[in-house]
Amino acid sequence: MSEEKLIMTFEANTIKHLGVKMYANMPPALAELIANAYDACATEVHVRLYDADEKKVIVEDNGVGMSFDEVNGYFLRIGRNRREENQEPPCKRVPTGKKGLGKLALFGIGDTINITTYKEDKEGVSFNLDWKEIQKWKGADYEPKYEILPKEKKLIGTKITLTNLKRKTGFPVEEYAESIAMLFNFQDKFVVYLTLNDSKPIKIDSKLKYENITPEFEWDIQKIVDVNEKDYADKKEIQGTIITTEKPLKADSTGIALFANGRMVNRPEFFGLSESSNFYSYATGWLNINFIDNWKEDVISTNRQSIDWENVKTAELKKYLMSCVSIIQRQWRELRKEKKQENISKKAKINVKDWLNKLPEKVQEQVETIVNLLDDTAELSEHTQQKAIKLLHEIAPEYANLHWRNLENEIKDVSEKYYQNGDYYTAFIEGLKRYANEVRQKSGMNISKERVLMQTVWGGKKLSVTKIFKRTDGSDFLPDTINNIEVGQHLLSDGIVAGGRHPLQHEEHLELSKTGLFSEKDCLDFLSLLSHLFKRLNDSEKP
């Protein structure tokens, strides 16, 4: 019994599920091979696709290459964690892979694989991996065929050739380039070149992922961290940029991708925030969270498409990222609002921000909504938009409440400046002064005290406000009617002086306004009454 052993065995199905199935799509599979080149200190990787005659894929890098022992001890070991072995590359890069499963991506592309690799001052190694042969293999360990090659100083690096491809149709090379670019965010000198049938290569670097996106607004995430009241232990380690565009993005271009040490660890998303707002149709970007790779627990999925957000530490990170995106969303609304107002201002030659700020609160929101709708309606020509906004401005101009009172020009001219500054009592007093001075001038009565002046002039005594008016048939109005109007002019003129000026003239104007004892509405009501009295004055004649 003591001689018997328990043995864990691995079937070819392990490779099938972790390689063939997981990397059935070309871009993620190529990304694994590119990542291996990065970990091998390569500065360039050439991915050559051929679909004209024999379909094949060649991935060649200028990295450090592998010796025979390294191929045997490292590359051909499935599930090896290079970080735990502290195998530091000469270029000091932090390895992007740590599960030891990325090499299985080869079998997601093709059934037959040749790998040729040269390390400096070492003999080269060329060996084949055959999926069909592996499936039939009966031994405990698969033994691929290999060949030792003489040293070659100019061929340092690794070349992988894949044939008997699973894909039977052509290669959409531009789509592949964009997809691969989205999976990496390397910060140092590392470039990938992708070609189809030896055509002009497409350069894939960190810039390509946003090459077709024109930013309207951009945020450095650290600027948001600085204003975020929420706390997070590694907040200063989060780096990256969030972009919003002028027009909505394609659905597959929205969201914020997360990267760790140059490789995607979470597909673009908004971290659980409700995406009903327009903001989410305009926002994209990337964040580097390298610190997540240093956690003891591995929270990144094998295919590097998602983080396990159910983990306590990742849930804390997610909550913080949500708070940052919420701040950006609020700032975006304000920036977009300001830009929209600037655009409309240029079109209509009206300072929209200033205009809206000077509208009554109840009116401001409605006018702003109409203005934004006009600007957003693409079916309207720019000329029509301008005309409509100008007409709206005429209907509801700055200080619309004052405008809508239709004051006599003499009253409006002297009171408008004070009204706009919020000095409502002075606005009224200046209007009253103008009225009193015009009464003196027209009546010829140089009386300094306003109440005495009004009592002396009006009531049909020195000036008559009814003299020029006749009925439509040319006859005079009844004496009582004339008397009532004349007396009314007297009483209203006397009353506005007595009720408005004399009791309040010794109080601080600011106190009158703050307490509501003399409000904006009081000012407008008094100015309207003065405007009425002024009209009567303009129509008056000596009896």
Could you read off the pLDDT of 332-381 as tens digits, one per residue? 989 988 887 787 778 778 888 888 888 888 888 888 888 777 766 666 67
The H-assigned helical ranges of 259-360 are 312-348, 352-357
Six-digit token string for 190: 């590392």
In 10 A of CB 476, how many CB atoms? 11
Contacts 24+ apart (CB under 8 A), 138-142: 140/9
CA–CA dist 28, 344 (Å, integer): 46
Q: What is the pLDDT of residue 273?
A: 81
The model's pTM = 0.67
295: DSSP letter: S
In 10 A of CB 496, how many CB atoms? 20
Six-digit token string for 156: 């340092």
Contacts of 89 (CB under 8 A, 6+ apart): 39, 40, 41, 64, 95
In 10 A of CB 470, how many CB atoms? 11
CA–CA dist 372, 352 (Å, integer): 11
The domain segmentation of the chain, as residue ranges, is 12-209, 215-333, 349-398, 403-539
Cα 513 to Cα 112, 427, 500, 501, 516, distances in angstroms? 87, 12, 14, 15, 5
Q: Cα 170 to the chain's mean position, in Å? A: 37
Q: What is the pLDDT of residue 103?
A: 67
Residues of the chain scoring pLDDT < 50: 1, 5-9
Would you state the CATH architecture of domain 12-209? 2-Layer Sandwich (3.30)
250: DSSP letter: P
Q: What is the pLDDT of residue 160?
A: 94
Per the CB < 8 A criterion, the answer to whether 31 and 184 are in contact is: yes
Q: What is the pLDDT of residue 20?
A: 53
25: DSSP letter: S
